[in-house]
Amino acid sequence: MAIERSEVPESWPVEPMEKVVRELLELIGEDPGREGLQRTPERVARMFAELTEGYRVDPVALVNDALFEVSYDEMVLVRNIEMYSMCEHHLLPFHGHAHVAYIPNGKVLGLSKIPRVVEMFSRRLQVQERLTEQIAQFLDDLLHPQGVAVVIEAVHMCAMMRGVKKADARMVTSAMRGIFKTNSRTRSEFLSLIGLSGR
């Protein structure tokens, strides 16, 4: 589903965005005509197409009939899904890992689809709290499982490069649905499996 690095969507406003980037460079006191910056506006336009591709992904096509009927009713967990997103407040990156679990209720999702769901919601302007909720809600609506749990651990460039400048500050957010919310043993098992129990 990812856009190739050399491609942008047909509808993507490359030229208007290049113009805006040129103006921004001038406003900070740079010369967009100097050698190192001549192609920067084009590169930035293409970069934003890639980093915001989640807005243009069809969730139905993403799942692509990868739902399977099963009798399995124990926890399904995908840990340490690498994720990168953009903070909507400062347009700076945040990155880390997502841990996603669910307990099936007659249906499972193909293994590769869970990281793709994480990527779809990550490739938008986000706040980590909403990103965590969106992943959990999408899987809950799609699978109608006994429960869904999502934990994201991330570092935010807006807190590392500016403002408080705390390089080691790591944000942890969680969203629990169904049995993960109502059953403390199930929740504890999940947190233990992702290494957060007792931390």
Catalytic-labelled residue, pool 30, 42, 133, 158: 158
Catalytic-labelled residue, pool 128, 134, 146, 153: 128
Q: Is 158 a catalytic residue?
A: yes
Domain 1-51 belongs in CATH node 3.40.50.720: no
Query: Left if phi > 0, otherwise alpha if psi is -120 to 50, otherwise beta: which for 149?
Result: beta
Residue ranges, comma separated, of all CATH 1.10.286.10 domains in the chain are 1-51
Q: Is 95 a catalytic residue?
A: no
Q: Is 133 a catalytic residue?
A: no
pTM: 0.91
Q: What is the pLDDT of residues 123-146, one digit of tens each?
A: 999 999 999 999 999 999 999 999
Residue ranges, comma separated, of all CATH 3.30.1130.10 domains in the chain are 65-193
Catalytic-labelled residue, pool 18, 53, 87, 134: 87
Q: Specify the pLDDT at position 168.
A: 78
Give the pLDDT mean for 177-188: 97
User: Is residue 5 pLDDT above 60, yes or no?
Assistant: no
Q: From 3.20.20.80, 3.30.565.10, 3.30.1130.10, 3.90.1150.10, which CATH number describes the 65-193 domain? A: 3.30.1130.10
User: Is residue 46 pLDDT above 90, yes or no?
Assistant: yes
Q: Is 156 a catalytic residue?
A: yes
User: Is residue 198 pLDDT above 70, yes or no?
Assistant: no
Q: Is 99 a catalytic residue?
A: no
User: Is residue 2 pLDDT above 60, yes or no?
Assistant: no
Catalytic-labelled residue, pool 30, 42, 50, 90: 90
